[in-house]
């Protein structure tokens, strides 16, 4: 069981919207039930990096509290979520949760109005032509036709926007890393030009030695594989490798006891693999490269979970 967040990691919030639901469905007799009033609290899920991050996470966390939506989300596949089928289940969410979602939307509308006013004033005050299309893009994650109520269209637009924006967000991070690598190599070559022939040869020899040293490390397991988990079970947990039990492993590594693998718990497993390859004290190991590998691992696990769920 994995509670994924994306982004940042991850890292998509769309996957977390689906992955976080693993509890047993609850039968609810709405005619007798008076649901308790839910207090608005700071969202607990990991930040996404999007400008509407808090709104996105608060909406998801309130929807997770509704028994009907929780059950539908548990049984939904990614295609249903992306195509808007899940959003229609908002019509069956309890009234007190709908009221809180309305409140969240009104707060988000007010925040965006203030944000756009500030950006409009800055652009106008600088003498530049105000880019109205760019400003309106700030509203793409919600339906502004009904500014006071959270409707099916709002949930659908939120899902579609988060999916698109976070995919682009991860792509941007990968592009940043590529630029980092290119810049690093360019700077290395420029330094070589300033050296004498003898010094340059020594530097090239040292560079090759560092590359070989970095490549000489313990075998890295496939992220999220049984082999990786068994290695943690044996080497970190000190358990008998012949008695590996997935349920016991999960309980041991569900450090906060919430019956989910959250981002920090999942990344703790990634870190054990990354530590085989990267050490901040070693000259040959690049910590920026390590973070890129962490992102790739997270994406791989999320994609594997999504693929497996589609097959089911």
In a domain, 227, yes or no: no
Radius of gyration in angstroms for the set of CA atoms belonging to the chain, rounded to a whole number: 24
Cα atoms in the 13 Å half-sphere on the side-chain side of 86: 27
Residue 148 belongs to some domain of the structure: no
**Assigned domain for 247 exists:** no
* Residue 38: CB atoms within 10 Å: 15
DSSP state of 88: G
In a domain, 264, yes or no: no
Beta strands in 112-262 (DSSP E): none
203: which 2 tokens? 């530097």
Rounded distance between C-alpha atoms, residue 4 and residue 19, angstroms: 6
For residue 265, give Cα distances in angstroms to 17, 43, 280, 287: 18, 18, 22, 20
Is residue 133 a part of any domain in this protein?
no
pLDDT at residue 291, as a whole number: 87
Name the DSSP class of 7. Answer: T
Structure-block tokens of residue 98: 């709908």
What tokens does 246 get? 């997935």
Residues 239, 261: Cα–Cα separation, whole Å: 20
Range of the domain at 282: 1-28+36-102+156-217+277-312
Please provide residue 38's backbone torsions phi and psi, each rounded to the nearest 5 degrees. -95, 130
Give the pLDDT confidence score for residue 261 in this predicted structure. Answer: 64
Residue 91 lies in a domain: yes
Selection from 14, 8, 82 nearest residue 305 by Cα? 14
Task: Show Cβ contacts of residue 83 under 8 Å, excluding neighbours closer than 6 positions.
Answer: none
pLDDT value at residue 150? 95
C-alpha–C-alpha distance, residues 179 and 208, integer Å:
22
Cα 116 to the chain's mean position, in Å? Answer: 27
Query: In tens digits, what is the pLDDT along the chain, a chain of 312 residues?
Result: 444 333 333 333 334 443 333 322 323 343 444 445 455 555 555 566 678 888 988 998 889 889 999 888 777 777 777 777 888 999 999 999 999 999 999 999 998 888 888 777 776 666 666 566 666 677 888 887 888 999 999 999 998 888 788 777 778 788 889 999 999 999 999 999 999 999 999 999 999 999 999 999 888 888 777 888 888 888 888 898 888 888 888 888 777 666 666 666 777 777 888 888 999 999 999 999 998 888 888 777 766 655 554 554
Q: What is the pLDDT of residue 125?
A: 66
Angle (CA) 203 206 211, round 5°: 125
Count of structural domains within the chain: 1
Asked whether residue 131 is domain-assigned, the answer is no
Q: Answer yes or no: is 310 within a domain.
A: yes
- The residue among 104, 141, 102 whose CA lies nearest residue 13 is 141
CB burial of 81-111 (b: ≥16 within 10 Å; e: otherwise) equals beeeebbebbeebbebbbebbbebbeebbee
């Amino acid at each position: 069981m994995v509670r994924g967040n994306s982004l940042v990691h991850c890292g998509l919030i769309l996957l977390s919207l689906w992955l976080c639901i693993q509890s047993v469905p609850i039968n609810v007799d709405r005619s007798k039930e008076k649901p308790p009033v839910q207090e608005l609290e700071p969202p607990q899920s990991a930040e996404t990096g999007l400008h509407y991050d808090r709104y996105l996470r608060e909406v998801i966390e309130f929807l997770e509290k509704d028994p009907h939506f929780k059950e539908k989300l548990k049984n939904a596949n990614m295609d249903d979520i992306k195509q808007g089928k899940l959003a229609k289940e908002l019509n069956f969410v309890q009234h007190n949760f709908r009221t809180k979602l309305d409140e969240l939307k009104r707060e988000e509308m007010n925040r965006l109005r203030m944000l756009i006013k500030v950006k409009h004033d800055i652009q106008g005050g600088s003498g530049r032509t105000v880019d109205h299309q760019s400003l309106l893009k700030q509203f793409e994650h919600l339906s502004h036709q009904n500014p006071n109520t959270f409707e099916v269209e709002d949930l659908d637009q939120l899902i579609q926007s988060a999916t698109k924006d976070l995919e682009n967000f991860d792509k941007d991070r990968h592009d940043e890393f590529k630029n980092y690598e290119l810049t690093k190599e360019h700077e290395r070559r420029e330094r070589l030009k300033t050296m004498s022939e003898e010094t340059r040869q020594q530097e090239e020899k040292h560079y090759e030695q560092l590359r070989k040293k970095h490549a000489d490390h313990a075998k890295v397991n496939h992220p999220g594989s049984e082999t990786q988990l068994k290695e943690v079970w044996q080497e970190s947990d000190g358990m008998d490798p012949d008695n590996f039990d997935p349920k016991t492993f999960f309980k041991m590594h569900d450090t906060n006891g919430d019956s989910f693998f959250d981002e920090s718990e999942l990344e703790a497993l990634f870190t054990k693999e990354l530590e085989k390859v990267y050490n901040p004290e070693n000259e040959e190991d690049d910590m920026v490269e390590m973070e890129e590998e962490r992102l790739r691992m997270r994406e791989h696990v999320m994609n594997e979970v999504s693929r497996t769920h589609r097959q089911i």
